[in-house]
């Protein structure tokens, strides 16, 4: 892999965003670190935002400018399909995969509503995990493992699970910090 491809791959991984559903509660958390190569550029970035009348939460991993472009497009799709997250995600993934400009965007999206958690990629993937948790970014595997264990083996609520799982990821992943933003769907 050439250095340009390695840099792009690193950009896609350098964060942690986690979605947790438990006992009817839907929560998404994202860390605040922005890295440029090996340098921390910012500590308190916001990588998770509510959409469509606060009925959908979306987080990103990857290049911020690309993610904001995708946020706008997903928001438009949600408006077009009256908040139907699955339909909006599929239509976004189709556009993302087939459009010559969009194909170059380097990001992953994690989206959730009260019933679904979806991972959306530029390769046309819209993945709904079997479990009630999902994560993206370099710290994603650590946060995911922690959240799965806490959902199954603790009495913690969704917010506490997200917070503790993100803390665990931050203690392992150098591209993840403990400055997190946590949103819950109303």
* pLDDT mean by block of 10 residues, the chain; 186 residues: 47 79 97 87 92 96 81 95 97 83 76 97 89 96 98 97 98 94 95
Element (H, E) at 25: strand 25-31
CATH label, 3-184, candidates 3.30.70.1290, 3.60.20.10, 3.40.50.1100, 3.40.50.2300: 3.60.20.10
How much of the chain is helix, strand and coil, in % rounded to 5? 40, 30, 30
- Give the pLDDT of residue 118: 98
Q: Enter the tokens of residue 11.
A: 């950009």
62 close to 19: Cβ distance less than 8 angstroms: no
Quote the CA–CA distance of 150 and 30 in Å, as a whole number.
18
pLDDT at 23: 96
Catalytic residues: 15
> Number of helices (H) and strands (E), helices first, in the chain?
5, 11
What is the DSSP secondary structure assignment for residue 114, as one 8-state letter? S
Handedness of CA 91, 94, 100, 106 (dihedral sign): positive
Q: How far is CA 145 from the centre of its chain?
A: 15
**pTM of this prediction exceeds 0.85:** yes
Q: Which tokens hold the place of 123?
A: 């390769």
Q: What is the pLDDT of residue 7?
A: 47
């Amino acid at each position: 892999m050439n250095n340009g491809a390695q840099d792009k791959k690193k950009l896609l991984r350098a964060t942690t965003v986690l979605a947790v559903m438990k006992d009817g509660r839907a929560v998404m958390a994202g860390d605040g670190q922005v890295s440029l190569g090996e340098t921390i550029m910012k500590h308190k970035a916001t990588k998770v935002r509510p959409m469509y009348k606060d009925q959908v939460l979306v987080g990103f991993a990857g290049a911020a400018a690309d993610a904001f472009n995708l946020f706008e497009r997903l928001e438009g799709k949600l408006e077009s399909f009256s908040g139907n997250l699955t339909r909006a995600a599929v239509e976004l993934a189709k556009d993302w995969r087939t459009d010559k400009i969009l194909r170059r965007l380097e990001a992953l999206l994690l989206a959730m509503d009260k019933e679904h958690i979806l991972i959306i990629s530029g390769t046309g993937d819209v993945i709904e995990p079997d479990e009630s948790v999902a994560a993206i970014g370099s710290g994603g595997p650590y946060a995911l493992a922690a959240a799965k264990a806490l959902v199954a083996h603790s009495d913690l609520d969704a917010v506490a699970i997200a917070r503790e799982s993100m803390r665990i990821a931050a203690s392992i992943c150098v591209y993840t910090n403990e400055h997190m933003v946590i949103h819950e769907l109303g």
